[in-house]
């Protein structure tokens, strides 16, 4: 399997399955008759009339059968599934931290869809405003099953296990240390060979894009050329067993049957595509004299709101980097934020929690205006002593989903999963009073 480089989110891409050269029509998108007896179908990710033109997202798919060929959708009943955070559970403004979430039991087969659990979220997909944050945990491939999301985009962050993702556009493989984005409406299926766990950020509003770099200029952070999208590949079996198509629609799941694979696209072109990114290719910028810049300098992708400079969701990483600042408290500072900050840890130790209390596969949520910062051990070690140049986060991959929305935690997250750490607050409880009152000396 090969993937092609993206050279920018606004560019046009094209791909034909090997051996089917000429499947892409020349000169028009929807000819009277497509070569090889294919059907032309457009997938639109934005309104036809969106302005400016560069913001228009759509792809043309040339497929063996159009996606309209299926039986009616019916509700999909999965009693263990938790998709709803809006369950009258009140979210406390405390600092929240979760221990690593469970992998499926060995005697229970759970695929990617069955293993989705909503940890927190906000908004309404019907109104096209909001996000969801999920934990997925699975140990079985999706067999004769595909999924697509009518509500928004999925940004998938593996923590354990490699995901082999088949999409209408072709195949992708992502492992811990990589991410992928499968955008609204795109059908996909996930194969796994080992127990897998990770995080998902779902956005209802707009699509992810590269952040505005301003004075940084044209290069650095996540470079466009490092994003990859699949090469066309298709499945065509004349007589197949029923295929289940699962659809997330208005925060509920529905399923329909069809007698052919949904991955029957022989060729495609457009700029509305699934893509993957290797986090090791992120090129960080940093302060080189004193103080340190805000964590927004580590933004990989952003989903903008309608207010300039404010994100519905940012995907931020804290990569390996050199710290050289002088006269500076180098770890993340104590902080209260009008944004909500959800953090996950893929591997290693997070730099602001030196005691190792924040574990890979766990998570934390610091809600709007809830104070947070380095723990006692980190504060003491970083407040005194020499400040030589230091390579930070060499064995760690930590990330943050940051949003301007105030997130509600689901009942599963607060109670059912039984992973919420009731003693998280104690990592700050013993911070000493170091004030020297001159009037009492």
Catalytic residues: 292, 335, 341, 366, 372
Residues 263, 273 contacting (CB under 8 angstroms): no
Q: Are strands 145-149 and 243-249 parallel, antiparallel or unpaired?
A: parallel
Dihedral in degrees, nearest 10, Cα atoms 230, 263, 202, 317: -20
Distance (Å) of CA 329 to CA 78, 291, 352, 436 = 49, 7, 11, 19
In angstroms, the CA 30 to CA 12 distance is: 17
User: 74 is written with which tokens?
Assistant: 């019916």
In angstroms, the CA 231 to CA 268 distance is: 9
In angstroms, the CA 287 to CA 42 distance is: 46
In the block, residue with structure tokens 């940093």: 286
In angstroms, the CA 137 to CA 146 distance is: 17
Burial (CB < 10 A; 0-12, 13-18, 19+), residue 292, is: middle
In angstroms, the CA 79 to CA 256 distance is: 18
Q: Which residues does 115 contact at the CB level (< 8 Å), separation at least 6?
A: 104, 136, 137, 138
Burial (CB < 10 A; 0-12, 13-18, 19+), residue 115, is: buried
């Amino acid at each position: 399997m090969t993937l092609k480089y993206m050279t920018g989110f606004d560019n046009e891409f094209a791909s034909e399955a090997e051996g089917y050269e000429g499947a892409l029509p020349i000169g028009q998108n929807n000819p009277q008759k497509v070569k090889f007896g294919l059907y032309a179908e457009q997938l639109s990710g934005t309104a036809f009339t969106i302005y400016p033109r560069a913001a228009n997202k759509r792809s043309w798919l040339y497929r063996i059968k159009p996606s309209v060929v299926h039986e009616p959708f019916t509700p999909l009943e999965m009693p263990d599934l938790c998709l709803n955070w809006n369950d009258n559970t009140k979210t406390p403004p405390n600092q929240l931290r979760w221990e690593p979430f469970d992998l499926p039991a060995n005697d229970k087969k759970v695929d990617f869809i069955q293993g989705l659990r909503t940890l927190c979220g906000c908004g309404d997909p019907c109104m096209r405003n909001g996000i969801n944050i999920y934990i997925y945990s699975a140990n079985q491939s999706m067999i004769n099953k595909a999924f697509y999301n009518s509500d928004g985009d999925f940004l998938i962050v593996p923590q354990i296990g490699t995901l082999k993702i088949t999409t209408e556009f072709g195949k992708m493989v992502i492992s811990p240390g990589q991410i992928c984005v499968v955008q609204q409406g795109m059908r996909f299926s996930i194969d796994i060979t080992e127990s897998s766990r990770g995080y998902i950020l779902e956005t209802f509003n707009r699509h992810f894009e590269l952040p505005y770099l301003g004075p940084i200029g044209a290069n650095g952070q996540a470079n466009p050329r490092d994003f990859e999208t699949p090469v066309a590949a298709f499945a065509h079996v004349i007589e197949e067993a029923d295929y289940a198509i699962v659809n997330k629609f208005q925060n509920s799941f529905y399923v329909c049957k069809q007698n052919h694979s949904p991955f029957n696209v022989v060729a495609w072109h457009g700029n509305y595509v699934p893509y993957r990114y290797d986090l090791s290719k992120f090129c960080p910028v940093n302060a080189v004299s004193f103080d340190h810049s805000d964590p927004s300098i580590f933004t990989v992708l952003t989903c903008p709101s309608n207010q300039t400079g404010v994100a519905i969701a940012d995907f931020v990483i804290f990569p390996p980097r050199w710290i050289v600042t002088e006269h500076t408290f180098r770890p993340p500072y104590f902080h209260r934020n009008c944004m909500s900050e959800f953090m996950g840890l893929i591997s290693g130790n997070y730099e602001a929690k030196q005691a190792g209390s924040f574990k890979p596969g766990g998570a934390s949520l610091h809600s709007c205006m809830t104070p947070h910062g380095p723990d006692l051990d980190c504060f003491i070690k970083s407040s005194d002593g020499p400040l030589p140049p230091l390579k930070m986060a060499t064995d760690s991959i930590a990330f943050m989903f940051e949003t301007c929305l105030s997130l509600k935690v689901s009942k599963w997250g607060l109670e059912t999963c039984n992973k919420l750490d009731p003693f998280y607050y104690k990592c700050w409880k013993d911070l000493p009073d170091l004030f020297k009152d001159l009037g009492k000396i």
